[in-house]
Structure formats: C-alpha cells, structure tokens
C-alpha cells in the first residue's frame, strides 16, 4: 500500500490565547489535488504555512506532521513550492524576473547561472508568458497581476517539487485570469505528477479540478472527502451553507469546462 504523502496528526497552532488550528487530523495522498476550503480566519492558510514551516516564531505548534512518502522533512523550494496570494509582495521588486526564477533552479538543481537562466526561460514559456526572453529582463512592477502570478508559479516549480502549495493564489485576480491560473495549475500538476494543496474560500473555483476537499471552520476540520460527494451530500451544515453561497455550482459550468 502506498504511504500517504503527508500525515497531519492532532495538529494545533496557537498565537498566545488565540487558537488558529484545533487538533487537525488529515492525510494528503501523493499525486492528489486537495482543496482546503473555508472562510477567512478558518485556519486554512495557517495549515498551509505550518506544513511549509512559514509560521512566525511566536506561533506555538502541537501535534505531529510526518512525510512518509518523502522519508524526511521537506526542503522548501526543493521538495515543495509555495505560491502566495499576492505575487506583488512575494516577488523581489529589485531583481529581474529571470534572476528570481533562475536562482531557485541554481540553488536546488545545482545548475550554473547559464543553465539556470535557460531553465528559467523555459519555465516562463511553460507557464504561458508571452515573449519569455524579454520578460526575463523585466521587473515585477512592469507586469500585470496575472503575469506576476505566472512568474510566481514558475519559480515555485523551478526545482521540480513533489508538492505545490497554492495559498489563495487566485483571490487577487479577476474571474477570467482566475480560470486561466486554475487551468495552468491543473496542467502542471498533471504533467509533473505533483501533489497540489489548493487553498481557497471559493468552492466554485476549486470544484472543477480537485479530487478531494477538506472544509475548515474556526480552526477545525469539519468535513473531508471526494469533492463530488461533499458537494452533492455535505455531512455538515456549515459545508451546506458554504455551498448555498455558491449556487452557481448547480447552474454554471465547472471551472474545468470554462477553461478547456
């Protein structure tokens, strides 16, 4: 039997008296596309940042996170890539696009700068950035929000990670660009056999391309299962309420159909 990619056991996170996560148990299967759904403050981004080791020092963590399929704690950038909500703040404003993507490849794939730059340009082309050669010389402020997010995705996959974490990676974009980014993520994950952790408050956005969904409320995991089962027969009233706020799920095409 194939071991889980990641096992989260009794995970709790506190900031002083504030509890951000409460005794979360969740297995992540290798190669699956898992959506973490919930309102703002539900704990979904805290979970992502805990897995990535990106919590501030004041956070107090209890419980256990293991990586059976890897056999070791993941190395940021190498074993997992992280795509943040706002690429305007996650990208360095004083470095060119080429420098930022190439640095990830150089550090983790042991490439020289020439090889890393060639790899970076190939990645920009792969994430469907027009004129990748000229974009390599551009700075983040010279690109649109959608293009900056594509650059962030290119940097996140530069070292061919096993896990890609997208934390509200589409929420700052308009609906058309959201669909484009979802289509891009879906294709990259499928082609590379990566595991995807897709953090979002938008059930409709995730419903068309993830395999499984985990619903969070006030730091607790309230429900998890195959996306079709959860959407058609939610076990918890909170999940039903979230679905009710996205009635377009039943009347509009799924994201995967919109962007195909």
* Beta bridge mates, 166: 83, 198
> Would 176 be classed as within a structural domain?
no
> Would 19 be classed as within a structural domain?
no
Task: State the CB neighbour count (10 A cutoff) for residue 18.
Answer: 8
**Number of structural domains the chain divides into:** 1
| Of the candidates 21, 47, 4, the residue with the CA atom closest to the CA atom of residue 200 | 47
Return the pLDDT at 3.
Answer: 77
Residue 33, phi then psi, degrees to nearest 5: -110, 105
- Residues 43-55 have a mean pLDDT of 94
- With a cut of 90, say whether residue 215 has pLDDT above it: yes
Q: What domain range includes position 144?
A: 89-161
> Would 139 be classed as within a structural domain?
yes
Of 57-61, 63-67, 140-144, 241-245, which range is least confident? 241-245
By CB atoms closer than 10 A (0-12, 13-18, 19+), residue 30 is: middle
| Of the candidates 27, 48, 24, 25, the residue with the CA atom closest to the CA atom of residue 36 | 48
> Would 93 be classed as within a structural domain?
yes
How far apart, in whole angstroms, are the C-alpha atoms of residue 51 and residue 164?
11
pLDDT digit string, tens, across residues 32-41: 999 999 998 9
Q: What is the dihedral of CA 135, 140, 141, 142, to 10 degrees?
A: 0
Q: Average pLDDT over the chain, rounded to whole? A: 90
> Would 31 be classed as within a structural domain?
no
| Of the candidates 30, 26, 31, 25, the residue with the CA atom closest to the CA atom of residue 3 | 30
Which residues, other chains included, contact 169 with Cβ-Cβ below 8 Å and sequence gap of 6+?
Answer: 83, 84, 85, 149, 152, 153, 181, 185, 198, 199
Return the pLDDT at 109.
Answer: 94
Q: Strand order of the sheet with strand 60-66?
A: 18-28, 6-15, 60-66
- With a cut of 90, say whether residue 250 has pLDDT above it: no
> Would 118 be classed as within a structural domain?
yes
By CB atoms closer than 10 A (0-12, 13-18, 19+), residue 17 is: exposed
Q: Tell me which range, 86-90, 122-126, 167-171, is most confidently predicted by mean pLDDT.
A: 122-126
Return the pLDDT at 247.
Answer: 54
By CB atoms closer than 10 A (0-12, 13-18, 19+), residue 202 is: middle
- Tell me the CA end-to-end span of the chain in Å, nearest whole number: 34
> Would 241 be classed as within a structural domain?
no
> Would 80 be classed as within a structural domain?
no
């Amino acid at each position: 039997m194939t071991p889980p990619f990641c096992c989260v056991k009794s995970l709790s996170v506190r900031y002083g008296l504030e509890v951000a996560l409460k005794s979360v148990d969740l297995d992540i299967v290798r190669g699956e596309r898992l959506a973490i759904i919930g309102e703002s403050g539900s704990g979904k981004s805290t979970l992502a940042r805990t897995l990535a080791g990106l919590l501030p020092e004041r956070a107090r963590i209890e419980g256990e996170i293991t990586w059976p399929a890897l056999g070791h704690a993941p190395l940021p950038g190498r074993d997992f890539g992280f795509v943040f909500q706002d690429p305007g703040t996650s990208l360095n404003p004083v470095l060119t696009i080429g420098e930022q993507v190439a640095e990830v490849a150089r550090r983790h794939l042991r490439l020289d700068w020439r090889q890393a730059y060639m790899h970076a340009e190939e990645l920009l082309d792969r994430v469907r950035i027009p004129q990748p050669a000229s974009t390599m010389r551009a700075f983040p402020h010279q690109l649109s929000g959608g293009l900056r997010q594509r650059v962030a995705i290119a940097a996140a996959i530069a070292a061919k990670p096993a896990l890609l974490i997208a934390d509200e990676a589409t929420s700052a974009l308009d609906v058309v660009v959201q669909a484009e980014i979802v289509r891009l993520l879906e294709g990259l994950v499928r082609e590379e056999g990566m595991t995807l952790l897709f953090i979002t408050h938008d059930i409709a956005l995730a419903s068309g391309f993830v395999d499984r969904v985990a619903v969070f409320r006030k730091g607790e995991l309230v429900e998890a299962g195959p996306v079709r089962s959860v959407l058609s027969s939610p076990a918890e009233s909170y999940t039903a309420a979230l679905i009710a706020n996205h009635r377009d799920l039943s009347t509009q095409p799924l994201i995967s159909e919109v962007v195909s």
